[in-house]
Amino acid sequence: MEYFHKFFEDQEVAAAVYSHVEENELLFTMCFNPSYCWILALSLGPFFTRKHSNKQRVPKTITQLFSYYIYNILSHHSVKMESTRNVMLKIGEMAFTGVSQRNIVFNEEDLIKYNLQPSQFLSGFLMELVERESSEHSVVYTFPHLTIQEFVAALFQFLPENAGNLRKLLNEAHGEKDGRFEIFLRFVAGLSSPRAAQPLEEFLGLFVHQTTCAVIDWLKGRVKAQIQNNNSDFGKRNLLNTLHYLFESQNHALAQQTLGSVQTLSLGGGSSKMTLTPMDCAVVAQAIALCDSIKQLKLSHCNVLDEGLQRLVPALHKCQELQ
C-alpha cells in the first residue's frame, strides 16, 4: 500500500487502486514485486481518477492489466492506425525472437534487422542503455521488464493477416521444459479474450479472428490432454500452466466444457517437488470452482504456504478428498 501512496499524488486514487488490487487475489500476489507494483499503478490509475472513472472495465487478469499498460503507451503516441500496427508487428517479432532465444538486450543491428528506427514511439516500449565496451560507448535497448517483452511477443501472434502454423508454435512452446514460454503462453491465451483485446484494437485494428479461434481450439485440446497426462513432474507443471492459460482466457464456456466433468485434479504426489505460489493457488481455486464433479485434489509435496492456503480454502469444500 505504501508504494501506491508514494506513486499517486491523489491519495484517494492511491487508496482506490490498492483496494481493487487487494480484492483481486491474482493481482494482489503481484504486489510483492516492485516492478509489478509500477505496472499495476500505471495501468490501474486512470480507472480511478474522476476524469476517467470506469470501474466496470478495471483489469482483473494479468493479460488485461498488461493490455491496458500497452494501451496507455499507444494512447500517448498519435500515430495512424496502419503504421502503428506495422511498427507493433516489427517490435513484436523482435520481442518474440528474444523470448525464444532468452535474449532481453537488443542492439542497433537488431533494430536494423527488424526495420525499426529509434523514435518517440519506440521509446515507449524500449529503454536505451549505454553499454561500455573497453573505451567505446554503444547504445543497447531493452524492455522495461521481461514480462512486458513477453506480452508484446504474445501480441505479435494476433497481428499478422493469417495464423500460419500457430498450433505447431504453441505446442512447441508448451513443450519447452526450461519455462521460457510459460508467461508468453499465458498472454497468448489471455489475448484470445475480447476483454483483453478490445483496448488494443482501438489503435491496432481488429485482431485476426482466425488466430483467436486457433488459440481457443488449441487451448481446448491442451486442457483435456494435460488433465489425462500428468503423471510426471513435467506433466504436473504443464497442467498448472494450462490452468493459468484457461484462467487468463476468461472463457467460461470453455472452462466449463473442459473442467466440468473432472473428478481428480493432481498437482502433487509421488516425487513431485513443485512449489505452488499464492498466484498458482488462486488459479487452482478458480479451476476447482468450475469442476462440477471433483472428488479428489492432490497437492502433496507442493509446498503450499499459509498465504497460498488462504487462497485455496474457499474452494476446498467442493473436494471430497484432499491429499
Mean pLDDT of 58-77: 89
Phi, psi (5° rounding) for residue 106? Answer: -120, 145
Q: Tell me how far apart the alpha carbons of residues 83 and 90 are, in angstroms, rounded to a whole number.
A: 11
Per-residue pLDDT at 56: 56
Give the type of residue at 110.
D
Quick: pLDDT tens for 99-152.
999 999 999 999 999 999 888 788 888 988 887 665 566 889 999 889 999 999
Q: Can you tell me whether residue 70 is helix, strand or coil? A: helix
Mean pLDDT of 264-270: 76
Q: Which of 240, 162, 151 is nearest to 197 (CA)?
A: 151
- Helix axis angle for 62-75 and 34-44, nearest 10°, is 60
Give the type of residue at 153.
A
Mean pLDDT of 147-161: 95
Q: Tell me how far apart the alpha carbons of residues 94 and 106 are, in angstroms, rounded to a whole number.
A: 9
Q: Is the pLDDT of residue 277 over 90?
A: no
Query: What is the band of 311 on the pLDDT scale with cuts at 50, 70, 90?
Result: confident
How many CB atoms are closer than 10 A to CB 76? 10
Per-residue pLDDT at 157: 96
Global pTM value: 0.89
Q: Tell me how far apart the alpha carbons of residues 92 and 179 are, in angstroms, rounded to a whole number.
A: 20
Query: What is the band of 82 on the pLDDT scale with cuts at 50, 70, 90?
Result: low
Q: Tell me how far apart the alpha carbons of residues 204 and 156 are, in angstroms, rounded to a whole number.
A: 11
Quick: pLDDT tens for 207-233.
999 999 999 999 999 988 888 877 777
* Number of residues that make up the chain: 323
Cell 514485486 appears where?
33
In contact, 116 and 152? CB cutoff 8 Å:
no
Q: Tell me how far apart the alpha carbons of residues 88 and 83 are, in angstroms, rounded to a whole number.
A: 8
